[in-house]
Amino acid sequence: MDKKDLRNIPSVSSLLETPEISEFCSSYPRSLVVSTIREVLDKLREAIGRSGTSDTDISPPAILSLVKERLLERGKVPIRRVINATGVLVHTGLGRAPLASEALEAVKDIAEGYCSLEVDLLTGKRSSRGDHVESLAVALTGAEAAMVVNNNAAAVLLALDTLARGKEVIISRSQLVEIGGSFRMPEVMAKSGAIMVEVGTTNRTYISDYRKAITLNTALILKVHSSNFRIIGFTASPELEELARMAREFEIPVMYDVGSGALFNLETYGLPYEPTVEESVRAGTDIITFSTDKLLGGPQGGLVVGKKRFIDMMKRNPLARALRIDKLTIAALEATLRLYTDKSEIAKHLPILRMLTRPLEDIEKESRRFIKELSRRSDGRITATLEDGFSAVGGGSLPGEEVPTKLVSLSTGKPSAQELSDELRQNNPPIFGRIENDRLLLDLRTVSDKADVEAILSAVLRIFGVAQ
């Protein structure tokens, strides 16, 4: 090997000073760009070691184009399992609710072969795919009827399209929510062809505001769970029951987009109050829509429960076909809902509730062990501290309500909190924590698996350069 050839290879730092690199750094984390440059240079050294520079282009532009190619390749990583140490339980970016093992088994069983998706096994006749899920939903909520669709956004769209196309829908100004991504109530309303009639003010809306807004063209009164925000202070809004009573006088249906779909009272677990679907049914609401992958703990889906008359109309809407759910979701959702038939055992079976109700002492014990191990294995080089903090339910459940937790706080400097976070995200498996005031925080509430705790430990050790 010719040492001189190797010396001609540009250095990492000289490449980092080229203008192209700042462009790469705007699309990819800097640490990824740096490690990609190193990787490309290593490969070049290897190639030169084999055959000299004669047939290897080592000019900076050639190297940069290899770096770009490799970055593009790396950017195309497939969807994969990640470790969620953010402390956000229903994290939309990380796939919302993890499924119960009962749901996984059901999916596997159904996916492996053929299934009775649309055949009634008693009569042999054609049936509807939603039947099983829908009868469970009826049993669990006390509603007259139910319909299952792809997600809550689909449920809201279908309800508005069916009941209010070309007609007026009355909604309080305090409930014109944006859920994140692209679900914004005024826009969904516009898409469905309904005419939005806003009443009240941002903080206060009275029953009389709704009453005054009713016309011959009013098709629906819509209430929306404030999901991801909370208005506090001088506020007022009519109780659901009061709204339903008034609407009945005018024979106008009331719909409630309850968002998260709590199927039982969370207060039984010492958690903050979240409206349950059952209590919304009891209040006389005609149509209630909610997600099945938030607090409910199932796969992505949307449920509509309420009066049979309206749900039958929705089932006949041609749009329903475009919004229908597939057999894997049906299998997982049915198994998840079945767990609710024994509410006393539910927190044992459903990961989302198990994590939500995980005892603080348990999280503290695990976090202390983590900190001790980190220090032991790095000979005291890496220090982490235990901090009090909060886990968030997320996904629009319990807005503003946080659940006390214990956090592992990694003191950073070199690497910085951002670099550490970037490196953890590129670990195998990827790890997500959260950054707060230049510290990297890990909430082990959502890391229930011992092997995952171990994976975080070894990732941190590796990133800090501790040989293992």
Ligand X SMILES: *Cc1c(COP(=O)(O)O)cnc(C)c1O
| Kind of pairing between the strands at 168-172 and 439-443 | unpaired
Tell me if 402 sits within 8 A of 272, measured CB to CB: no
In the complex, the smallest distance separating the C-beta of residue 36 from ligand X, rounded to whole angstroms, is 35
Where does residue 241 rank: exposed (0-12), middle (13-18), buried (19+ CB within 10 A)? middle
Cβ neighbour number for residue 328 with a 10 Å cutoff = 16
Range list of H helices, 295-381: 308-316, 319-322, 327-339, 346-349, 351-356, 360-377
Nearer to ligand X among residue 5 and residue 257 (C-beta): 257
In the complex, the smallest distance separating the C-beta of residue 178 from ligand X, rounded to whole angstroms, is 10
How far from the centroid of its chain's Cα atoms is residue 271's Cα? 20
Nearer to ligand X among residue 151 and residue 446 (C-beta): 151
Residues 6 or more apart whose CB falls under 8 angstroms from that of 192 comprise 157, 160, 161, 164, 165
Please identify the residue of the shown chain whose CB is closest to the bound ligand X: 259
Q: Which residues pair with 245 in a beta bridge?
A: none
In the complex, the smallest distance separating the C-beta of residue 323 from ligand X, rounded to whole angstroms, is 11
Cβ neighbour number for residue 136 with a 10 Å cutoff = 21
In the complex, the smallest distance separating the C-beta of residue 274 from ligand X, rounded to whole angstroms, is 11
How far from the centroid of its chain's Cα atoms is residue 343's Cα? 24
In the complex, the smallest distance separating the C-beta of residue 97 from ligand X, rounded to whole angstroms, is 11
In the complex, the smallest distance separating the C-beta of residue 237 from ligand X, rounded to whole angstroms, is 15
Q: CA dist 395 to 94, 100, 245, 297, 460, Å?
A: 11, 18, 30, 11, 28
Nearer to ligand X among residue 37 and residue 295 (C-beta): 295
Pair of tokens at residue 183? 């679900």
Nearer to ligand X among residue 36 and residue 292 (C-beta): 292
Nearer to ligand X among residue 293 and residue 452 (C-beta): 293
Nearer to ligand X among residue 31 and residue 289 (C-beta): 289
In the complex, the smallest distance separating the C-beta of residue 221 from ligand X, rounded to whole angstroms, is 16
Nearer to ligand X among residue 179 and residue 459 (C-beta): 179
The contact set with ligand X (CB under 6 A) reads 151-153, 179, 183, 224-225, 227, 257, 259-260, 291, 302, 396
How far from the centroid of its chain's Cα atoms is residue 436's Cα? 21
In the complex, the smallest distance separating the C-beta of residue 299 from ligand X, rounded to whole angstroms, is 11
Nearer to ligand X among residue 291 and residue 378 (C-beta): 291
Q: Could you give the 3-state DSSP secondary structure of residue 408?
A: strand
Q: Which residues pair with 407 in a beta bridge?
A: 387, 443
Pair of tokens at residue 90? 């229903």
Sign (positive/negative) of CA torsion 394, 397, 398, 400?
positive
Nearer to ligand X among residue 69 and residue 239 (C-beta): 239
Tell me if 192 sits within 8 A of 242, measured CB to CB: no
In the complex, the smallest distance separating the C-beta of residue 300 from ligand X, rounded to whole angstroms, is 7
